[in-house]
Amino acid sequence: MFIHTSMAIFYPSRNHGVFYLLFLLLLILVSSMCVLGRPATFQQDFRVTWSDSHIKQIDQGRTIQLVLDQGSGCGFASKVKYMFGRVSMKIKLVPGDSAGTVTAFYMNSDTDSVRDELDFEFLGNRTGQPYTVQTNIYAHGKGNREQRVNLWFDPSADFHTYSILWNHHHIVFYVDEIPIRVYKNNEAKGIPYPKLQAMGVFSTLWEADNWATRGGLEKIDWSKAPFYAYYKDFDIEGCAIPGPVSCASNPTNWWEGAAYQALNAIEARRYRWVRINHVIYDYCQDKSRFPVTPPECFSGI
Ligand SMILES: *[C@@H]1O[C@H](CO)[C@@H](O)[C@H](O)[C@H]1NC(C)=O
């Protein structure tokens, strides 16, 4: 939009040669800055998608409070979509008796037919019982790739960082820099990989006591409502769509760099630690659901 207005004002002519040059420089600058060049903020980069009255900005807009009560849950989403990159947020989950509540942070193509989606879902629990993080990946419309990890800390006591890295090589879910899930691009082996559609960044707090806690056995205790979750330090680095088309395929974007194409040795060790000690469910091991193990399960890291 900016480029168009500039074009109208600084139309090239002999008298405006200098402006024309400046305009060209500006054009080059803008198109090289396809990446969001500043920290994301709630006000500038997000919008409320569900129940305005249940989302409050506190701490001068730096922290967002999500509320779930018997009337409603709530949600917010990024104003634009992104193609590859890394999104991260600090989240402090519902404390105490959070059974039946689900706090979600995910990327979604927001398309009905052929959905791509990368999910973090935080499943609440009874006081003192561990929170479960469920991750799932939809590629070209197919999901059913749930994994569950019990967190090794109390995620309601403090803010922790949750990130999703998405590039041409793999998708990695991180909890405080510790990889808890890796999905490799194995298109060469015919395994679908999300890379054809941009995805928005979403978050919701809602009631899901029909399935969330111990498979739906533990119901939400409304006498403990309202339930609160907190978000801050929004960070989105990616190619905004709409934006310069060339951005998404630009191999010099930092998230496509050599250091981000596979886990490094430290990350790989941490990932093994999570796999051995904290994974409580993996669809890859679920023979009753998948008598034939899905092909991506053999791809390693
Ligand atoms: C809740 O706690 C129970 C008992 O420790 C545990 O089996 C379960 O995995 C926890 N998480 C959920 C979401 O039910």
Percent of the chain at pLDDT > 90 equals: 82
Task: Return the best residue to mutate from 129, 134, 279 for the ligand 1 pocket (most ligand atoms within 8 A of CB).
Answer: 129
pLDDT higher than 60, residue 15: no
164-221 pLDDT tens trace: 999 999 999 999 999 999 999 999 999 999 999 999 999 999 999 999 999 999 999 9
Q: pTM for this one? A: 0.88
pLDDT higher than 90, residue 31: no
Question: Is 117 among the residues known to form the active site?
Answer: yes
Architecture of domain 38-298: Sandwich (2.60)
pLDDT of residue 245: 81
Task: Return the best residue to mutate from 93, 97, 132, 135 for the ligand 1 pocket (most ligand atoms within 8 A of CB).
Answer: 132
Query: Which residue minimizes the CA distance to atom 10 of ligand 1?
Result: 130
Q: What confidence tier does 79 reach under pLDDT thresholds 50, 70, 90?
A: very high
Q: What confidence tier does 37 reach under pLDDT thresholds 50, 70, 90?
A: low
pLDDT of residue 156: 98
Question: Residue 280: CB within 6 Å of ligand 1?
Answer: yes
pLDDT of residue 197: 96
Give the Å distance between the CA of 115 and the centre of ligand 1: 29
Give the Å distance between the CA of 27 and the centre of ligand 1: 54
Please give the full DSSP string across the chain, using - where no structure is assigned: -HHHHHHHHT---STTHHHHHHHHHHHHHHHH--B--S---HHHHEEEEE-GGGEEEETTTTEEEEEE-SS--EEEEESSEEEEEEEEEEEEPPPSS-TTEEEEEEEE---SSS--EEEEEEE--STTSPPEEEEEEEBTTB----EEEE-SS-TTTS-EEEEEEE-SSEEEEEETTEEEEEEE--GGGT---S-SS-BEEEEEEEE-TTTSSGGGTSPP-GGGPSEEEEEEEEEEEEEEESS-GGGGG-TTSGGGSGGGSS--HHHHHHHHHHHHHTEEEEGGG-TTT-SS--GGGGS--
Question: Among the listed ranges 41-45, 53-57, 152-156, which one has the minimum average pLDDT value?
Answer: 41-45
More confident call, 275 vs 28? 275
Give the Å distance between the CA of 205 and the centre of ligand 1: 19
| Sequence spans of domains, the chain | 2-36, 38-298
